Structure 1
Amino acid sequence: MPSARPRTRIQTKNRETILDAALEVFSQHGFRGATLDMIAAEAGLSKPNLLYYFPSKEAIHVTLLSQLMNTWLDPLRALDPDGDPVAEILAYARRKLEMSRDFPRESRLFANEIVQGAPRMQAALAGDLKNLVDEKAKVIRAWAAEGRIADIDPHHLIFSIWSLTQHYADFDVQVRAVLGTGRDPIAEADLFLDRLFRRLLAP
């Protein structure tokens, strides 16, 4: 069977334009609130043109979620079993915080999917995500057993890092309303979380 023809430069550009527009629409309105017409308008393309690249709203959404999952797992993959435990965990928290700063739309897309019961991500959550978290949990548990960090539940440590970092993307408007102008939420959070986790992890 012959391989598929490579995409032209224009086709590649149009796909990227559609995906970026869809990310904007989905992150604001969620999957249910978004429509193909809204995505086409955001992309500056006609609806028939959009449908040439993606057959449905769900196809666009699944493509975005698949790309996002890889990005989302990278910071945890980087946690090095041979590194200093406290430094590795703090670096992971910092990477997650930087993702909230650099990828707020992606974070909201992920949050919206989870809130809806993750109908298009169940396999990824139960597969790649769970397997990676379990793998790193064993590393953290081994560090604790060696007395290098406090004896804490590694899964709930990872959950706490998620909640304490992704909050700054998912609830950005609330955070900035409370802090007011002239403050940098991510920089302040970085200092706070460093102090918090150093105390938590101290053996």
Structure 2
Amino acid sequence: MSTKPAVNGAHKAAIRQENEEQILAAAERVFADFGFKGATTARIAETANVPKANVHYYFSTKEALYRRIMEDVCDHWLEAAMTFDNSADPALILRGYIEAKMDLSRLRPYGSRLWAHEIIRGAKFSSEYISTTVKSWLDSRVVAIRGWIAEGKMDDIEPYTLMYMIFATTQHYADFGRQIEIFNNDKPLTDA
């Protein structure tokens, strides 16, 4: 029995994943810098250091690529909130969530900027995703916070406002990265 086809298949899958990740990283930056209208697949290919045909091979349209990045950025943010499922202590949960969001702002600033630009422009490509996936996720976190308040584990605050403040604070470091660098004497945000 030969293992060559399985090895070739695994190798091809690894190459595909590597190429997609390279294109996605480049596209995230290009879309963040130029917006959907200003970004071109040629510029994305150039930034990814791949032929333009590869961009079209892996992603059928510029819009499909854009939507994939938008959902990927948000999915990482939603994963950061897994801390809500890991403890019964609101202080530990919120600290872990804020730390994870800060790490994402530091490690993926272009994703945060892209998200901000999309929302500022009216959420043309992400309204449905926000009104379904993100809204459902947010509502579930609000239920948890209300439970902690009812149990006397935290002060009586408006849960949605708390979450909005966490979003605003953590994403500020990415969305206004240059301002942070200026305030920090040209030093970027670190995990210190």
Give the TM-score normalised by the residue count of structure 1.
Answer: 0.80
Query: What's the offset of the Cα at 1:185?
Result: 6.0
Q: Structure 1 residues 18, 184: CA separation in 2 closer, same or farther (over 3 Å shift)? A: closer
Distance 2:168 2:89 in 1: 23
Distance 1:28 1:183 in 2: 18
Distance 1:134 1:143 in 2: 14
After alignment, is 133-142 or 66-75 more displaced? 66-75
- One-letter amino acid matched to 2:120: V
Distance 2:89 2:17 in 1: 42
Q: Structure 1 residues 115, 184: CA separation in 2 closer, same or farther (over 3 Å shift)? A: closer
- One-letter amino acid matched to 2:169: L
Judge conservation of contact 1:104–1:170 (CA < 8 Å) in 2. Answer: yes
Distance 1:127 1:100 in 2: 24
Q: Structure 1 residues 184, 36: CA separation in 2 closer, same or farther (over 3 Å shift)? A: closer
Query: What's the offset of the Cα at 1:165?
Result: 0.8
Give the gaps of 5 or more residues in structure 1. 188-203
Of 109, 130, 134, which aligns to 2:114? 109
Give the gaps of 5 or more residues in structure 2. 1-8
Q: Structure 1 residues 182, 127: CA separation in 2 closer, same or farther (over 3 Å shift)? A: closer
Matches within 5 A, 1:43-82: 43-80=48-85, 82=87
Of 166, 179, 190, which aligns to 2:171? 166
Cα RMSD, aligned residues only: 2.2
State the SS of the aligned residue for 2:32. Answer: helix
Q: How many residues align?
A: 183
Query: What's the offset of the Cα at 1:17?
Result: 2.1
Please list the CA deviations of residues 164-200 of structure 1 after superposition, one character each: whole Å capped at 9, or x if unmatched. 111001101011112314685653xxxxxxxxxxxxx
- Structure 2 counterpart of 1:192: none
- Structure 2 counterpart of 1:118: 123
Distance 1:120 1:147 in 2: 40
Distance 1:43 1:56 in 2: 16
Of 144, 147, 155, which aligns to 2:152? 147
Judge conservation of contact 1:85–1:149 (CA < 8 Å) in 2. Answer: yes
Q: Identity over aligned residues, as a percent?
A: 36
State the SS of the aligned residue for 1:119. Answer: coil
Judge conservation of contact 1:176–1:185 (CA < 8 Å) in 2. Answer: no
Please list the CA deviations of residues 106-139 of structure 1 after superposition, one character each: whole Å capped at 9, or x if unmatched. 1112112111111111121111111111111111
Distance 1:33 1:167 in 2: 23
Give the TM-score normalised by the residue count of structure 2.
Answer: 0.85
Matches within 5 A, 1:177-188: 177-181=182-186, 187=192
Of 4, 13, 16, which aligns to 2:18? 13
- Structure 2 counterpart of 1:87: 92
Distance 2:91 2:116 in 1: 28
Please list the CA deviations of residues 21-47 of structure 1 after superposition, one character each: whole Å capped at 9, or x if unmatched. 211211211212111121121122332
Distance 1:134 1:113 in 2: 22
State the SS of the aligned residue for 1:45. Answer: coil
- Structure 1 counterpart of 2:3: none
Please list the CA deviations of residues 47-85 of structure 1 after superposition, one character each: whole Å capped at 9, or x if unmatched. 234322222211111121222222110112321375211
